[in-house]
Structures are given as C-alpha cells and as structure tokens.
Amino acid sequence: MAPTPPSSPPERSQSARIATWALFALVVFTMLAVFSNNRPTGDEVSYNEYINRLKDGAVETVTRNNNNGEIRFELDDDSDTVFVTSGPIEAPVTEQELLERLPTPTADNPDIGANFITPTQSPLVQLLFVMLPFMLIIGFFVWMQRRAQGQMGGIMSVGRSKAKTYTTERPGTTFDDVAGYDAVKREITEVVDFLKSPDRFSEIGARTPKGMLLVGPPGTGKTLIARAVAGEAGVPFMSVTGSDFMEMFVGVGASRVRDLFESARKMGRAIIFIDEIDSIGRKRGAGMGGGHDEREQTLNQMLAEMDGFEASEGIIMMAATNRPDILDPALLRPGRFDRQVVVPLPELEDRKEILAVHLKGKRHESDLDINVIARGTPGMSGADLANLVNEAALFAVRSGEKKIGMRHFDQARDRVLLGIERTSMVQTEEEVERTAYHEAGHALCAAVQANHDPVHKVTIIPTGMALGVTMTLPTNDRHSMDKDEAEAMMVMAMGGRVAEQLVFNESSSGAANDLQQATNIARRMVTEWGMSEKVGPMSLSDSGPVFLGGDMMSNKAGLSPDTARLVDEEIRRTLIEAEDHCRHLLTEHRNGLDLIARALLEHESISGDEVYRLLNLSGANLELPGNTSLTVADAEAKSATDSTPSDDTMPPPPPAPVSDLETAE
C-alpha cells in the first residue's frame, strides 16, 4: 500500500520565484548576446596566400580589424567570395605598401580598397557584463535566505508527526489478501463495521473499543491485518512506528503525539496504527534513572490523548507488539487499549492458505502437495512460509529445473531449519560409523514409541552445526504435551548416547545437545508442569521478563534447600528412567539398530519410510504412520527385491566436525 500523493503542490516562496525568473532572464540574455555577435564567416586562407594575392593585384577589397588582426578580403573576379585570414594586429610595412596600391574608393564603388575598422561589442554583451556581477550577488543572497528558511523550517517541524497516511483512493489491502486467521478477522470485523456505519452503534448506545492491540510472535502478519482493516473500512490509515516518536530534543516525542492525534481528528473517521508500540509503551518507573525520561513523557502524552477521544469521532487506535507483558498497565486499561487480539502462529489449515498465496505466480509441478508441506512446517509464521517458498524456488533454479517440486521444498525446509550441508568436511571412518549408530538410535527410539512423532528423515551428512540429523514430522499441530509424550521425547533424545554405549562401550561429546534437551524437558516436567508426584502440583519456575531496575531490585522468594534438593533428585530420577527405557528399546531391537546404521553408512540419508521398513524386517512389526507412503505389506514386498546393506559397506569419508554438538530433532 503506497501513501497517497499530496492533493496540490506546495506554494513556492517569493524568493524561489525571483530566483527562477532571474535564471531564465540570464539564459535568454546570454543567447541574444551570442547571436548578436554571430557575424558570417568566409573561406579561411593563410596569411601568406593573402600577401601573394595582394602582390598579384587580384585583391579588390580588404577589411582589417584593428582589435584582433582579422583580415577579410574579396577578389576582383566578381565571385563575391569573402576570404578570411589572421595576421598581426599592426600591419607590417610590406603589407602596408601593398595595401597602398589598392584602388581608392569611388562614389560608384565605395567599398573597394583598404578599410581599417575598430569594432565595438554589442550593447547586449556590454550590458550582460555589467549586470552579471550584480546578478551573482543577488543569487547568492537568495540562496542564503532559502537555506536559512529551510533550517528554520526543519527546526520548527521537528515536533510534527512522521506518520504515513494511506487514504481510501488506494486501499491496497483487504481481508482477502490475508490468508487464514479467520478467528482474528471475525474479531476485527467489529471495528470495520463501526467505521463503516457508526450510527448503528450510537443508536443503541453501544461503545466500541477505542484501542485494539494486536499481539503475536514476529512474522505473523500483524501490520498486514491492520492495513486490511483500513482497506475494508475505507477510511484513512495513519501508520507510524514507536521509534518515530523518539528524538534527541526534549519534548519532541510528546509533541509528535499531539500532532498525530490532531491530524487524525481533522480526518474525521480514521485509524491510527502504531507498530512496535513496546518501544515507547514500556512500564514506567522500571529504569534505573527514575521516571522522568523522554520515553515516559511520550507515553504520558499518548495516554492523555487516547483518554480524550469520544466514540462519535470515529478514530480508533491500533497497535502491534510481540511483547505485551512489558507494556504499562495504564496503556491496557479500559478506555485505551482495552481489547487484545492474539495473532498466533498459523495452524495447519492457515498454513495451507498462506502457502497457496505465496505459490501464486510461481511455476510448480502439478503434483505439488500443499498438505504435506503445511504439515511439515509446524511453528512457522507467515514470514517463514514466504521464505520457505522462496528458498524452494532458489533450489529449483540452482538445479536447472523449470518448476518447483516437492524435493525442492524438502531441501528448503532442511536449509531453513538445520542450515546448509557441509559436504566439504572430512571425517574418519570411525567418526562416520559412530555418527551413523548415534542417529540410528534416535530414529529407532522415535519409530518404536507410539507417543512420538513419526520419523521423516535421517542423515549423517553434517548440516549446520550438527554432524547428523534425525527429523520427525508431526501428524498434527501440538498445542499441549502430556506426560507420556514428554517421556517419549526424552527417550528419543537419549537414543544416540545409549546407542553409542551399546555398540562402542563408551560415550562421545556428540550427545551434549541431546542431554541438554532431555534435561530441559525433565526440569519443566518437575518445576512447571506438575508431573512429579513427590514435588506435587507446584510451579517452581522463575522464568519471566526482566526489567532493568525492576526485577533486579525485587526480592524473589527462592527455593528452600530441601525443595531444591528434591527438585534435583526428581529431575535426575526422570532422566535415569528415560535412559533405562531407551536402553531397553535399543537392546530389544538391536537388529533394527544395525540395519538402520548400515543403511546410513551406505546411503548417508534415508527416509522415514525406509526406517520403518528396516525395523519391520528385523521383526519389529510396526504399524506405519500416516505420513509414510508405504504399508507393512509394501515393505515386505519391497524387502524381497531390495538387498540388505552389508557390514563391509562404508561411505566415502564425508566431513569432520566443526562442533561436537549434534541435533536430535
């Protein structure tokens, strides 16, 4: 959406008009002077040829310029041709003697003979040289005056609002341009109805919210939704960011707030949108230097302006932030931003619509399955999905293909979530084998547990900061987690470390990130989720926003030594139980672990379907999840034709770790 151009050009100052006319007159005057001195020229000859013609008596008329030595002469052959040459300013004796031989002018022919002239400059040229210094002086003073006025105008306008105004002539964005978020649209439709027909609300005595706060993670489209409201309502939309109110001068923020609301009142019905309002709306009194800084004065002025609105004015405030917990309570009370609209991360259906919007205008294969792509992108915002589509298009271009396919989306998702593959890294055979069993342990624990997400892909190619990756693909969006699912995630995280212990009788530093993930889950189970019987239904988490000078000075009640000891014991017990269960699963399915590791050593990357097929070959008898394309019968039929990887098959050495961290999911 582009800002509407001004309705009429601004009035030019008197000095600007004078300077323009002076410049125009100077150009015209110069052209006249030049053309007035533009005398016709003749055929140029050398001075020696001119002297020879004089000696031969062929010259009839000579006109000599005493200022520059220019000589014009005509012959006596009735050709009327004028010859031009240049000689000394003062004619030499030889030339003077020859000129004296020329015939003298007569009444019938007064132009013949020798003529000595001293021409003067054109009056226009003389006037130009006289006026030019004065014109330069006048122009200098006009330039100085305009510069001083511009500086003064800039100082006087520092308190004006920097809001960009979008009018009804270019609505640009409507709800049709916002894919998904039907619940958010229904919530905001009330604002659109009020701006379109305020009489319906005033007749019954209803009062619409004066302020609406859009809350959500970054990239969810809060600004886009605010523009869609203005486009649907057909009213002016004034957009400004929180940082636009801050300036080096004291009081500028409050002045800009006053100017912003005054401009909105002149428009009648309008929407004021403040993006990133948390930059000026933080809690007052939370700073170390007291509560009289420029930011807090700006917030005070905004609170006063919002409270002075009347519902009949038709002006609604909208703001966006991803940190509502740090906003001042006075900003969120009724009468100001009294309604919060949560713009969450898109759900599965929302992601389908968003992907469809971003795929418009892009050439893709007909069998491209948006459902699979949407299901494999949980937790991605609208901006992340747009970046995913663009990355897939880039992969298609790099591979020399004309259309985007599913394989390009798989590559793009790996690139966005995991990082770029480090194919240039070199590892020893022992490191590659250890990584293969490590990832095989993760994949096996994820596959055999019914409460864990299905395995999607396993690779031992170093990617990002990981030496290998086991990816799982959820069948549905998860909004909560029960105890069984949390324990399954810990078991899966322990799979790599336990697999190394079973095969190599030792552990490696590659399990550092796995232990960190498992410990974090266990700690939250005990301290936040109430999943420990000994600790009981208590929330012992101290996580929360930290304000400089606020929480630093607060006296939080810490845990008693007995409670802290109990928490540590429960976390340790939970982790040990997960490790024991993981060791039991890997021991029970040891043949499947070896098959998966051999397949990784041979192919470096295998799909989730291949993981389940190999486990079924080892006697696991697993039911294939819904995200796989193989059934158990297909796996058995395929196993009759496929050859099992041999023990002596080793891949070419792929890369040595830059980091010992290894990502489990």
- The structure tokens listed for 316 are 């609604």
- Of 95, 296, 439, 662, which one is the catalytic site residue? 439
CB 396 within 8 A of CB 403: yes
H-run or E-run covering 525: helix 512-527
State the angle between helix axes of 348-359 and 382-398 in degrees (0 to 180), rounded to the nearest 10: 50
What is the end-to-end Cα distance of the chain in Å, rounded? 40
Q: Is 439 considered catalytic here?
A: yes
How far apart (Å, rounded) are the C-alpha atoms in residues 226 and 211? Answer: 12
CB 354 within 8 A of CB 219: no
Is-contact 166 3, C-beta < 8 A? yes
The span from the CA of 180 to the CA of 216, in Å, is: 15
Question: Helix H segments across 589-628?
Answer: 590-603, 608-617
Rounded distance between C-alpha atoms, residue 429 and residue 650, angstroms: 8
Separation of alpha carbons 20 and 139, rounded Å: 10
Pairing of strands 605-607, 455-459: antiparallel
Q: Which residues contact 415 (CB under 8 A, 6 or more apart)?
A: 391, 395
C-alpha to C-alpha distance for 426 and 424, rounded to whole angstroms: 6
CA-to-CA separations, 660 to 167, 499, 520, in angstroms, rounded: 56, 17, 19
DSSP character string of 374-406: HHT-TT--HHHHHHHHHHHHHHHHHTT-SSB-H
* Active site (catalytic) residues: 439
